[in-house]
Amino acid sequence: MKQLHKKFNDCQVKDLLTQYLKKKVEREEIQKVLDIKKTRFFALVKRLKDDPENFSVSYFRSIPTRTISKAIETNIMKELKIEKDLIKTKDVPIRCYNYSYIKDILENDYNQKVSLSTIINRAKTNGFYLSKPKRKVHEREVITNYPGELIQHDSSHHQFSIHADSKWYLITSLDDYSRLILYAVLVERETTWVNIIALKVVISGYGIPYSYYVDSYSAYRFVQGRDSNWRNHHKFTDEADPQWKQVLNDCGVKVTYALSPQAKGKIERPYRWIQDRLVRACYRKKVSDIKQAQLVLNSLIQRYNYKWIHSTTGEVPYIRFQRALKENKSLFREFRIRPPYKSTKDIFCLRADRMVNSYRKVSINNLELRVPSAPLHERIQLRLVPDKESGLTEIRFWHEDDLLGIQKVKNSDLNLVQF
């Protein structure tokens, strides 16, 4: 039904109402012609009586102008300038403005409530806006049905704080079903050992999952390169398991690899929220030390896991995870130390095979170790557990299913740089 002012002009309506006032036409007839209700009719009659010279059926909606305080305006501009500085900084993984983050900052740090549209309008007006590049559409969906069915594990290397002297690595593990982040730690150097520690924390805390999903980084997978004129390779891809995968083999966990850029993107997408906000928080708090950054990261993970409604699942990750556990819908298995192993150190460790010489000694990185009970001229396995705080590495000597002995050696003497 069209509005009155679009069907009739002012003069036509005025003439009809004048005829009614002169009692020449009945009200019902005029209502029928104008297609209006009784209340609207008498409102027009009143308007005509009050001001016949300026009578009009047109109307104007008065939208109240919402103003914000000078303090809010100042803080919006301050935060937008910070965003611009981050975007311009080299090596920082920030490529666009995050207006939602500014809204959160204003509410949490300044106790100032302002709508997202207001921030965006200020940004566009003052030149703090970048058009987003077109991206290929990807399906945002959960492909698993149970917690523990698939754990996404990844590491990223960025300048997470421009106040720091170096880049850091962010090691993360996430449950695909609930999107709960199970592990998130910043390290100065990514090694096989830090990835094994991540496995230990997840498996000890939540149980043994069905599978892990990773990219083809060398710490996770041995990938055969091409033969060359000066080097012939004898092992094919996946014939030699790296240390990280050997731990999962001992736990009975399947490993799935991302073999394409699109598949690798699936691993990286869930962590962008954390990376994005970590950089911004470290900048504003002037974080220059990795320990300080870890505290900031812990706070973000707490919010992500327990408060934030995930855009894909539509639920808070922790609540989704716990509900599935209560409904007995989980593929996590209880972690137990099974024979012949004696300790978690026999599972979550670095491994090296060595031949025992005639003096019942083995050599590792030019360091000779005597193993009195070792069989002569046979291969034994060394399971190594480094401890950064004490500076010692515990070495557990195994032959087949027998623990031959335990020794502790200085980390500096072992020189485990390659791990």
What is the DSSP secondary-structure string of 192-222? HHHHHHHHHHHHHHH-B-SEEEE---TTT--
Q: How high is the pLDDT of residue 381? A: 96
- The pLDDT > 90 percentage for the chain reads 61
Judge whether residue 150 has pLDDT over 60. yes
Confidence of residue 221 (pLDDT cuts 50, 70, 90): low
CB 395 within 8 A of CB 408: yes
Element (DSSP H or E) covering residue 183: strand 181-187
pLDDT tens-place string over residues 324-339: 999 999 999 999 999 9
CA distance 169 to 105: 25
pTM (two decimals): 0.75
Q: How high is the pLDDT of residue 241? A: 82
Comparing C-alpha atoms, which of 315, 285, 312 is closest to residue 300? 285
- The pLDDT > 70 percentage for the chain reads 86
| CATH homologous superfamily for the domain 151-224+236-326 | Ribonuclease H-like superfamily/Ribonuclease H (3.30.420.10)
Judge whether residue 140 has pLDDT over 80. no
Judge whether residue 232 has pLDDT over 80. no
Judge whether residue 417 has pLDDT over 90. no
Judge whether residue 311 has pLDDT over 70. yes
Judge whether residue 195 has pLDDT over 50. yes
Place of tokens 């705080």: 389
Q: How high is the pLDDT of residue 24? A: 85
Judge whether residue 239 has pLDDT over 50. no
Q: Residue 260 is encoded by which pair of tokens?
A: 């394409």
Place of tokens 């999107």: 179
CA 332 vs CA 208, 281, 335: distances in Å: 5, 34, 9
**pLDDT: is 16 or 239 the higher one?**
16
pLDDT tens-place string over residues 81-129: 999 999 988 888 888 899 999 999 999 999 999 999 999 999 999 999 9
Please state whether the peptide bond connecting residue 340 to the residue before it is cis, i.e. omega within 30 degrees of 0: yes
Q: How high is the pLDDT of residue 225? A: 46
Q: How high is the pLDDT of residue 3? A: 76
Confidence of residue 234 (pLDDT cuts 50, 70, 90): very low
Q: Quick one: average pLDDT of 207-233? A: 65
Q: How high is the pLDDT of residue 72? A: 94
Place of tokens 């009050």: 50
CA distance 372 to 401: 17
**Where are the domains positioned within the chain?**
4-50, 70-125, 151-224+236-326, 344-414
Judge whether residue 251 has pLDDT over 90. yes
Determine the number of helices (DSSP H) and then strands (DSSP E) in the chain. 14, 11
pLDDT tens-place string over residues 6-49: 788 888 888 889 988 988 888 998 888 888 889 889 989 998 88
Q: Residue 111 is encoded by which pair of tokens?
A: 């106790």
Confidence of residue 133 (pLDDT cuts 50, 70, 90): low
Q: Quick one: average pLDDT of 138-151? A: 78
Q: How high is the pLDDT of residue 68? A: 87
Per-chain mean pLDDT for the chain: 87
Confidence of residue 229 (pLDDT cuts 50, 70, 90): very low
Other CB atoms within 10 A of residue 61 CB: 4
Confidence of residue 271 (pLDDT cuts 50, 70, 90): confident
The pairing of beta strand 211-214 with beta strand 151-158: parallel
Other CB atoms within 10 A of residue 372 CB: 9
